[in-house]
Every structure is written in C-alpha cells, then in structure tokens.
Amino acid sequence: MFVRERRKALRFGADRYSRRLREGTGLSPYRAELAKQGLIPRVDCVSIERVIAPTEIIERLGLSAEAPDVVRRENWYYASDGASEHPVQVGVTYVPWRIAEGTPLATSANLGRGSLYARFEERGHRITRSREEVSARMPSPEEARGLMLPTGVPVLEVLHTGFDQAGRPFEVTRFVMRADLAALDYDMAVEESDD
C-alpha cells in the first residue's frame, strides 16, 4: 500500500505582494503562487459587505471612532493537483470604506488583472511593506467543517497588514490555513546596524 502525500501550497512571503509578480502574471498573489508550484487554484469570494470594523481592525488600520466602516471581503481558497481539490485557507480582508467606496473592492468578486493590489494601487495605495504575525491553534468547529480538516489537525493563522508608500496601513487580512496543506516560506533581508 502506498499513501500519496498531498503537496503543500507554499506562501512566498514578501514576493507574493511584489509589483513585478502582479504585473508579470496579472494574477492575485495566491493564484500566482500556486501556478508557480504547478497547482491549480480556485478562489470563491463568498461575501462582500460594508461593516463596522472589529476593535482590533480599527486599531491596525488607524481608523477614527467617527469612521470605523470597512469593506469585509471573505474568500475561500482551494488547491488542486489535477487529481483532487482541497480547501487550503480562508481569508477575511478589511478595507477602509474611504478606500473601497465606489470601486470594485466594495462590490465585486472579480477584481480584474492584478486583482486586489492593483485596485489598491489605482486608489493611491501601492503596497511597499507588509507585517505578518503567524500563530498556530486548533480550529473552531466552523473552520474545521469548512476546511474539511481531519481530527486533530491545527490551523495556522496569519494576520497580514499591508502598508503603502507613505507607511500607512490600508488593508488587513486574517488568513486561516490548514496546517497539513500549507507552508510558509519567508526570505527577508536583514538590515545590520553598527551598534
């Protein structure tokens, strides 16, 4: 008996948000990453709604108490090796209403060439830096069902904040990933000081 190991979908850290990748492929970070790995991506945008941001998101985005509105976009991400498809992660993105208002960010699952970050750049917010906090935990019952997790498999939670050319945060996404099907690969420059 041979057990076929499922390939993990790698997340390529800073490269996933590069303008070079977006302009060269015209794809979203997730689709470009999977294509690079020979996997077939599928993304379902299950909801787009204007909401009052949770306190943590208000703080991360630096929103005022007078303008706490955001667009909340929920995406489910799948990967296929051609033989079978599996849910890999769910991502909930929060975009300040002042950025999303009147754009496809507030209304459309199909964001066109370059996807989310191309639309941000059109609004004057080019991603130049991101902060990602990674933790592991056991899934909620809803996450376990939606991600079709085998019993005992944890999830990785990546809390991503995108910063623009002026150093301002303009979007926050909470990714919840199957730990058995996802992996993180970060290659970061380290600045040395003379201290």
Residue-wise pLDDT for 47-105, tens only, equals 999 999 999 999 999 999 888 999 999 999 998 888 889 999 999 999 999 999 999 99
pLDDT above 70 covers a percentage of the chain that reads: 85
pLDDT at position 1 is 44
In the predicted model, what is the mean pLDDT of residues 132-159?
95
Domain ranges of the chain: 9-184
Q: In this model, does residue 192 exceed pLDDT 70?
A: no
Q: In this structure, how many other beta carbons lie within 10 angstroms of the beta carbon of residue 4? A: 8
Q: Where are the beta strands (DSSP E) in 26-150?
A: 40-52, 69-80, 85-96, 129-137
pLDDT of residue 31: 77
pLDDT at 3 (0 to 100): 40
**Mean pLDDT across the stretch 117-124?**
93
Name the residue with higher pLDDT: 143 or 185. 143
pTM above 0.95, yes or no: no
* pLDDT of 4 above 60: no
72-75 long-range CB contacts below 8 Å, 24 or more apart?
A: 72/47, 72/48, 73/45, 73/47, 73/48, 73/105, 74/45, 74/46, 74/47, 74/48, 75/43, 75/44, 75/45, 75/46
Q: Which fold has domain 9-184?
A: Chorismate lyase (3.40.1410)
Residue 2 above 60 pLDDT?
no
- pLDDT for 81 equals 86
Distance CA 115, CA 63 (A): 24
Residue 32 has pLDDT above 90, yes or no: no
Task: Tell me what pLDDT residue 30 has.
Answer: 78
- The answer to whether the beta carbons of residues 169 and 61 sit under 8 Å apart is yes
